[in-house]
Chain A
């Protein structure tokens, strides 16, 4: 049985002292697993990741109830700089690369918590092996990279820190389908070859379910369902609302939508 890496228990997050975003959320990531967290806009997926990585604080958010445990230690409401040192690294939504730094400087910034020069150059070589396109653009200012390259840079930057757990927030955002394929393959390779556990937030449920071992579905600040990708893909609600099929397994036509709007069963 795998060791438990990350465990969120009944986590409640409040922004600005008034806005309740997570309402008692629980989930687990086991060592070496890829876990997907799916859900629509505003469900609280990004907030969940930020609660883990500590990045809630600059946004005036706070974990007010429940606990977040990483390898047996409580980490909620700690400074992000301490959490990164413990081995959790978040790749934020929208890539957030340092636009005025060149590619290599971006990667070196990712290795901020790694003081050894030797280790940094080994990691650089590793990142360039996963992303040969970044190697060609080492000296280029990162702001001028294409969207796909920026996403690669964002993931490469995370690799530089040698995290035990990587939190990926919508790596498919704004990318062409082929690029999404490519990036998800690399995520899978990183998981297998480096043994990095991954908590993946996605709106693109289809690609996420393809690489995940376990998935959670989130709505309105709570987990409403979880299971293996197979179990979820067989569920009628998931098929309809996240994968876009009707019960008969065909793509839905617009006429059906207009005619009859199915209620989600877990809401009643």
Chain B
């Protein structure tokens, strides 16, 4: 391996990790909803879109400081999620899951159209979100014999940290908190959960709120890596192989799947051919599914014999 190849390898790895953190965060939102309601939420990308545009609007048009804009945007996302749950999903409780999935598909086009109508198709630049504690262009790694370093901007490093913190919070929430355990119980057996006094409606409302929040954060992440635009939602297409690879109901699967897919994308497009970038994740997916049909960490159906 030549020194330059080594530099490229380090570069692709660093980019891959930040992209992987993004995919993992998106996958987390999808897994969350799938885990507690058995629904694959096709409107997740549009929640991302909303999160990014609302934050941008608050910061640019209303001139709010970051520390005010972010919580406010979060609150709006929760309100949207609760409204969606009340008006569109609650009437469907007890109906076949496929009808709810169809509703999320419809919802995705509606939200997309609303966002387009309010904020227009123009690409916008998101103001700086993170404080500039460290100066300079970012983390640089030099390889002997090559003048150009492999580098990663501080922005991306911050986002990786944000993703790590969010994931840890998730794990703690599901393992320790009363609502988290109730959510997993509901996913396991709804009627039995009801017999514990758990209100299914309440659990669904919490689930959708938390999922909408993570969607908003990941939308912001895409917007910060690139621009605020109405094509942010397309990133979700890259997260679908992640959740299937990792197992639809596994948080660990979402993280590791996200990393595997993002790194593969980077190495393949960098070393082999950029046009293969969108194909290879699905090839990896097929290979994994042949060996492990539940995905890497999917819940197996427990059967005592």
Contacts and interface: CB of A to CB of B under 8 A. Distances in A.
A99 B188 contact: yes
Give the dominant DSSP class at A's interface: mixed
Contacts of A115: 178
Contacts of A84: 195-197
A21 interface: no
Contact of B198 (A53, A58, A81, A92): A81
Contacts of A109: 181-182, 185, 193, 196, 198
Contacts of A141: 302
A9 B189 CA distance: 31
A108 interface: yes
Q: Chain B at the A interface: mostly helix, strand, loop or mixed?
A: helix
Contacts of A146: 304
A57 to B, nearest CB: 8
B299 interface: yes
Contact of A55 (B194, B302, B304): B194
B197 A92 contact: no
Nearest to B175: A105
A216 interface: no
Contacts of B182: 109, 112
Contact of A100 (B94, B178, B192, B302): B302
B112 interface: no
- For the side of the interface on A, what is the size category? 35 or more
B278 interface: no
B31 to A, nearest CB: 14
Given A101-B185, A108-B178, A96 B191 contact: yes
A90 B191 CA distance: 11
A79 interface: yes
A90 B94 CA distance: 21
Nearest to B202: A81
Contact of A101 (B184, B198, B304): B184
Contact of A58 (B181, B190, B199, B202): B190
Contacts of B195: 53, 55, 80, 84, 89-92, 96
29 contacts: A53-B195, A55-B191, A55-B194, A55-B195, A58-B94, A58-B194, A60-B94, A80-B194, A84-B195, A84-B196, A84-B197, A92-B191, A97-B192, A98-B185, A98-B189, A98-B192, A100-B302, A101-B181, A101-B184, A101-B185, A105-B181, A108-B178, A109-B181, A112-B182, A112-B196, A141-B302, A144-B304, A146-B304, A161-B197
Question: Ordered nearest first, which 4 A-B pairs have the shortest CB separation?
Answer: A84-B197, A143-B302, A96-B192, A98-B188
Interface of A: 53-55, 58-60, 79-81, 83-85, 89-92, 96-101, 105-106, 108-110, 112-113, 115, 141, 143-144, 146-147, 157, 161
